[in-house]
Amino acid sequence: MRGVARRPGRRKRAAMTGSNQINLPDAQGFFGAYGGRFVPPQLEAVIKEVEEAYLAIRQDQSFWDEYQSLLKHYVGRPSPLWHARNLSTKLGGAQIYLKREDLNHTGAHKINHCIGEALLAKRMGKKRLIAETGAGQHGVALATAAALVGLACEIHMGAIDIAKQHPNVIRMKLLGCKVIEVTQGGACLKDAVDSAFTDFVTNHKDTFFAIGSVVGPHPYPMMVQDFQSVVGREARTQILEQAGRLPDYLVACVGGGSNAMGLFTAFLPDKEVAIIGVEPAGKSATPGEHAATLTYGTPGMLHGMKTYLLQDAQGEPLPVHSIASGLDYPGVGPIHSYLKDSKRVEYVSANDAETLAAFRQLSEVEGIIPALESAHAVAYAAKLAPTLGKDKIVIVNLSGRGDKDIDYVAEKMGL
């Protein structure tokens, strides 16, 4: 999706109820130099409609009251903040706390924004929700939200990911959702996004495209970040209650980056809190064998936004790989690009082997089976904690549970 976007003078955006505590993006959807809405003319009016509807409900207290009620009584929020004492003792050094998004209804953080997007679509009079998914957690969450509010749902998913994430495919179908198998290109997350956008252009009158991360054209990065920011607000309150102070470090995995921004946003003004995003280093640094966008990528255009991406000399997205289907995306949310350049967040990586080891270690030591996506963050925390004093605190966003991954992991580990 490419196009031309004008960029008039900036202004601060209005704060939603339960504000992010930051004044980004600007009115045109730019986080510093990144973001915006670069779409073909036939899509401009369609996405402008989404922006106008969201900006209106963003100031509507009745919307947020309904949203918060569903988070509490349906999703099961607040999710716990767990002091992983066993893991902390085994590793030595810092105390590790896990923000248990895996305990949400549907098993991941994705339900936070899917509930919000489904409510918005309903208020806009749409009849159908569509989305892309990689690991399947966004697809399951959106199918769940669609069933809850009474909308039809269709999920586009790469053929490779369908094979890896079969349990989530079955869940989506049980929830009444139609799953579209995408075979073009690399048959993974990027291609599922392309397929869903094509559907959206054709059927926009009755359809709402619920993008699954802080990616895409404005207002999607802002909107998904707003809905996910509940994670960090809760974690901030919880760590103050449990430890009496703010953490020293935050750690979260980054693919598109929604779970990371969910945790990070509430802490961005707290300069004493170091923030670390963990990308998938995959098998090696060779192009096509990783999805470490902020580590190896350069600024470019992808899916209606300016952001860092893994691209060839012609600006076309490169093939990517991650052991975690939810992270195999050649781009990243534009706010992460801004936070990288501003140096507010440090971006590192964990490879497939480190991730598998962390998956097994957390399962055996804490009795918590993490999603492979989340295990990237656990892997980096396992390296970080021993280098710190025992008085230091690290919060890891455990963005999802590993039920969906156990067959794939069992094959990889020979179990």
3-state helix, strand, coil in the chain (%, to 5): 45, 20, 35
In contact, 276 and 289? CB cutoff 8 Å? no
Give yes or no for a contact between 157 and 132, defined as CB atoms under 8 angstroms apart. yes
For residue 27, give the DSSP letter: T
Question: Catalytic residue positions?
Answer: 110, 132, 399
Pairwise CA distance, residues 112 & 168, whole Å: 18
Output the six-digit token pair for 189: 């997350």
Spatial separation of the C-alpha atoms in residues 265 and 161, rounded to whole Å: 29
71 close to 112: Cβ distance less than 8 angstroms:
yes
Q: How far is CA 133 from CA 179, 274, 357, in A?
A: 10, 30, 25
**Angle at the Cα of 214 from the Cα atoms of 210 and 218, rounded to 5 degrees:** 75
Indicate left, alpha or beta for 98 from its phi (over 0: left) and psi (-120 to 50: alpha): beta
Among 365, 366, 375, residue whose Cα is nearest residue 406: 375
At position 26, the amino acid (one-letter code) is D
CB neighbour class for 319 (10 Å; exposed up to 12, middle 13-18, buried from 19): middle
| Angle formed at CA 252 by CA 246 and CA 253, multiple of 5 degrees | 175
Query: Residue 66: how many CB atoms within 10 A of its CB?
Result: 17
Look at the chain and count its residues: 415
